[in-house]
């Protein structure tokens, strides 16, 4: 049996130079985080890996310059992005589905892993809740495993979504904070237009992957209104929109081949209602991320429809979804793997969605469809992989198109105010013949 200790006793084991891992999303610890942050005497950096923080992290608040705690992150939330902007966090590039393999093959054993889990069950297992992801592999690679028990976390059914007490060294009991909530934001008029364009391409029996944000959730609402049936779900992130589709009776999973009859996901993030929905729900299964996100697993289901957001796209079709110039915003996540898996699926489709414009802080409107990406901007999905691109002005398919045809297609879904400017830029760059646009 693992020893019961306090969060302060667990934090006292940490030494300068140690490598810690806080895990992913709702699996990140809270009591241990506060206890570690309170250790003012730590002189050298403690290296901490984590991903998608859903609550403020005390170690970042206590050390905003990153002198005691070096915060290394696989995928930024808004909280992580602000820490990065302040110089206290740094990004680790990763295709999300590769995370378990990265820990097993390329990362040295972690000195201490601290994960928030559900209470021990009758079989001696601590459930990872809605943060299955790479946690099983992470535990395998840990020299010391600490479980922070939260009795208010939802317990989620699935594959390898728990650690047995025989692998746990210490348990920190807490009264619990429950699962954090992710605000989605109400979709705007532009989001709703894009959503309707995408929903028109979704057919009966499609297997859905929906990304993060208000726009993908708007797509779910538009699909529910469209009347399509027998949908399946095989996704990275379970979001409120997919819950809504299930409650509307649109999701059966009957035509799936991988996880038939189940809504399959690797982590959940959304409202309190979603957190209640995932608790012991027999319609759901959470799997490790290498079983949800690797393209060969995705393509096993027919008719995969992958819907993700991007921040900017150039006239060649390069999609930049994780940075604005040198400023890092989010991460690669599973976007590229789902784009590829959807394409390889029988009759599959992938959509990258974006509003055609953005308004800068100074009030100036600029196009998100650009002749070329600005220096420092990270390409998330290469032009060779991009399939459908959707804005409020329509949907275009780039597969099989030459560079001039791509430029013309993308200009057609750019904001009308910028189309002539984009055409001129394409001609000046000799991307298209002078007579083509």
Which of the residues are catalytic? 236
CA–CA distance, 4 with 228 (Å, rounded to integer) = 51
CA–CA distance, 65 with 135 (Å, rounded to integer) = 28
> For 74-188, where are the alpha helices, taking DSSP H only?
78-85, 99-105, 135-140
Residue appearing with tokens 């989620």: 156
CA–CA distance, 318 with 312 (Å, rounded to integer) = 8
Rounded to 5 degrees, what angle do the CA atoms 407, 307, 425 make? 15
Q: What is the DSSP letter of 307?
A: E
- Of all residues in the chain, what percent are helix, strand and coil, respectively (each to 5)? 30, 25, 45
Given a contact cutoff of 8 angstroms between Cβ atoms, the answer to whether 288 and 132 are in contact is yes
How is residue 241 written in tokens? 């929109």
Quote the radius of gyration of the chain (alpha carbons, Å): 22
CA–CA distance, 235 with 385 (Å, rounded to integer) = 19
How is residue 329 written in tokens? 């915003």
Rounded to 5 degrees, what angle do the CA atoms 179, 339, 205 make? 80
H/E run at residue 409: helix 403-412
Instruction: Return the half-sphere exposure (C-beta side, CA atoms, 13 A cut-off) of residue 11.
Output: 20
C-beta neighbour count of 301 within 10 angstroms: 28
CA 386 to centroid of chain Cα atoms? 18
How is residue 322 written in tokens? 């994780």
List, in order, residues 6 or more apart from 397 with CB less than 8 Å away. Answer: 387, 388, 409
Given a contact cutoff of 8 angstroms between Cβ atoms, the answer to whether 208 and 221 are in contact is no
* Maximum separation of any 2 CA atoms in the chain, in Å: 76
How many residues are given for the chain?
Answer: 437
Buried b (16+ CB within 10 A) or exposed e, 216-230: bbbbbbbbbeeebeb
């Amino acid at each position: 049996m693992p020893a019961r200790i306090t969060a302060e006793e667990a934090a006292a084991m940490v030494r300068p130079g140690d490598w810690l891992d806080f895990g992913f999303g709702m699996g990140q610890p809270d009591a241990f985080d506060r206890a570690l942050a309170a250790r003012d005497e730590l002189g050298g950096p403690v290296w901490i890996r984590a991903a998608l923080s859903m609550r403020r992290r005390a170690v970042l608040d206590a050390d905003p310059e990153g002198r005691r705690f070096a915060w290394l992150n696989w995928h930024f939330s808004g909280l992580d992005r602000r820490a990065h902007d302040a110089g206290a966090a740094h990004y680790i590039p990763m295709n999300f589905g590769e995370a378990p393999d990265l820990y097993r093959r390329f990362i040295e054993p972690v000195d201490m892993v601290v994960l928030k889990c559900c209470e021990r069950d009758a079989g001696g297992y601590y459930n990872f809740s809605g943060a299955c992801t790479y946690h099983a592999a992470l535990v395998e690679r840990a020299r010391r495993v600490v479980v922070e028990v939260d009795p208010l976390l939802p317990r989620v059914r699935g594959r390898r979504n728990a650690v047995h007490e025989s692998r746990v060294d210490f348990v920190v009991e807490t009264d619990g904070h429950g699962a954090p909530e992710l605000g989605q934001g109400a979709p705007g008029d532009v989001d709703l237009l894009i959503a309707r364009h995408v929903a028109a391409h979704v057919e009966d029996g499609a297997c859905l992957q929906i990304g993060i944000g208000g726009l993908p959730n708007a797509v779910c609402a538009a699909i529910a209104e469209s009347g399509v049936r027998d949908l399946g779900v095989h996704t990275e992130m379970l979001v409120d929109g997919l819950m809504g589709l299930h409650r509307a009776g649109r999701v059966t999973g009957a035509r799936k081949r991988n996880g038939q009859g189940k809504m399959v996901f690797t982590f959940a993030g959304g409202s309190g209602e979603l957190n209640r929905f995932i608790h012991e729900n027999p319609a759901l299964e959470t799997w490790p991320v290498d079983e949800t996100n690797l393209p060969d697993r995705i393509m096993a289901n027919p008719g995969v429809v992958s819907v993700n957001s991007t921040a900017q796209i150039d006239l060649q079709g390069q999609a930049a979804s994780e940075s604005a110039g040198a400023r890092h915003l989010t991460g690669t996540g599973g976007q590229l793997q789902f784009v590829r898996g959807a394409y390889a699926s029988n009759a599959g489709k992938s959509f990258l969605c974006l509003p055609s414009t953005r308004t800068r802080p100074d009030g100036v409107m600029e196009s998100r469809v650009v002749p070329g990406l600005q220096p420092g901007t990270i390409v998330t999905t290469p032009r060779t992989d991009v399939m459908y691109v959707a804005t409020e002005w329509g949907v275009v398919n780039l597969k099989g198109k030459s560079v001039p045809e791509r430029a013309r297609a993308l200009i057609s879904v750019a904001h009308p105010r910028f189309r002539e400017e984009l055409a001129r830029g394409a001609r000046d760059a000799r991307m298209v013949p002078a007579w083509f646009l």
